[in-house]
């Protein structure tokens, strides 16, 4: 929200990424809100009551983790970590301690455990898939929600807009940091990720 721009074809590209990842997750038996792609710009999804938390998975220090801890950018974490952020624009989406989450009754302790576990599983899977095509998953933000049967499902989108991806050889960013820090034209960097994953765009 701090920087605004429009790019031709961005919606179609993000749609293609999200469909690709959701379909691949379904093949692994992981349920998400995704039902089917309807056109190059539309998908049918299950209606969710969104959990007011953004779940962030991290494997390598970058972004706000470096600012908060002083860890150098690029430092490999001993093991992946999961952090919850409060989805409240007016507060600037702050990181929360579990004590705050339960104090405000945002989710139950059981649901929180499930969110952390699902985030870990999804992060580990995406790490493997991206590594197969010579990218390093640095971190990723996921959103979940409850469907009409009160099942917790992955929602929102999965695209280079919601993760950090570095080329394993050059270290080049292929994610939203390219736009945030004006590193290069954004769309070609995203297209390279799509090309390596063999996503039709
Ligand atoms: P950080 O906390 O370091 O800024 O972000 C961690 C990861 O979560 C990054 O991959 C970043 O792109 C993603 N992320 C966190 N919040 C948001 C958000 O509100 N929108 C998007 N698109 N990505 C986010």
Dump pLDDT digits (tens) for 76-115.
Answer: 999 999 999 999 999 999 999 999 999 999 999 999 999 9
| Section 159-175 average pLDDT | 96
Ligand 1 nearest atom to the CA of residue 177, by list position: 12
Tell me the mean pLDDT in the region 121-139.
98
Residue 8 has a pLDDT of: 85
| Per-residue pLDDT at 4 | 86
> What is the model's pLDDT at position 48?
98
pLDDT at 119 over 80: yes
Q: Across residues 113-134, what is the average pLDDT?
A: 98
| Residue 174 beta carbon below 6 angstroms from any ligand 1 atom | no
Question: What sections of 35-136 are H helices per DSSP?
Answer: 63-69, 98-103, 109-131
Residue 113 CA to residue 85 CA, distance in Å, equals 15
Angle 37-192-140 (CA atoms, 0-180°, nearest 5)?
70
pLDDT for 137: 98
- Return mean pLDDT, the chain: 96
Q: Quick one: average pLDDT of 176-193?
A: 93
User: Which range (119-123, 164-168, 169-173, 185-189) has the least confidence?
Assistant: 185-189
pLDDT of residue 133: 98
Nearest CA to ligand 1 atom 7: 140
**pLDDT above 90 coverage of the chain, percent:** 93
- Token pair, residue 155, equals 């929602």
Give CA–CA dist 160/139, Å, rounded.
Answer: 10
Nearest CA to ligand 1 atom 18: 162
**Which residue lies with its CA nearest to atom 20 of ligand 1?**
162
Q: How many C-beta atoms lie closer than 10 Å to residue 113's C-beta?
A: 12
Instruction: Return the axis-axis angle of helices 186-196 and 10-27, rounded to nearest 10°.
Output: 30
- Average pLDDT score over residue span 6-19: 92
């Amino acid at each position: 929200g701090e920087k605004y721009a429009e790019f031709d074809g961005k919606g179609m590209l993000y749609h293609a990424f999200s469909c690709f990842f959701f379909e691949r997750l379904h093949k692994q038996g992981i349920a998400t809100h995704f039902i089917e792609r309807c056109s190059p710009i539309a998908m049918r999804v299950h209606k969710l009551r969104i959990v007011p938390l953004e779940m962030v998975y991290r494997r390598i220090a970058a972004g706000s983790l470096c600012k908060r801890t002083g860890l150098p950018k690029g430092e490999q974490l001993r093991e992946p970590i999961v952090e919850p952020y409060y989805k409240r624009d007016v507060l600037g989406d702050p990181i929360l301690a579990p004590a705050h989450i339960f104090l405000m009754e945002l989710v139950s302790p059981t649901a929180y455990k499930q969110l952390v576990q699902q985030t870990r599983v999804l992060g580990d899977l995406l790490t493997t898939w991206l590594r197969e095509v010579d990218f390093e998953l640095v971190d990723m933000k996921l959103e979940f929600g409850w469907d009409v049967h009160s099942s917790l499902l992955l929602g929102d989108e999965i695209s280079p807009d919601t993760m950090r991806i570095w080329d394993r050889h050059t270290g080049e960013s292929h994610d939203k940091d390219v736009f945030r820090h004006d590193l290069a034209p954004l769309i070609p960097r995203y297209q390279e990720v799509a090309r390596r994953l063999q996503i039709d765009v």
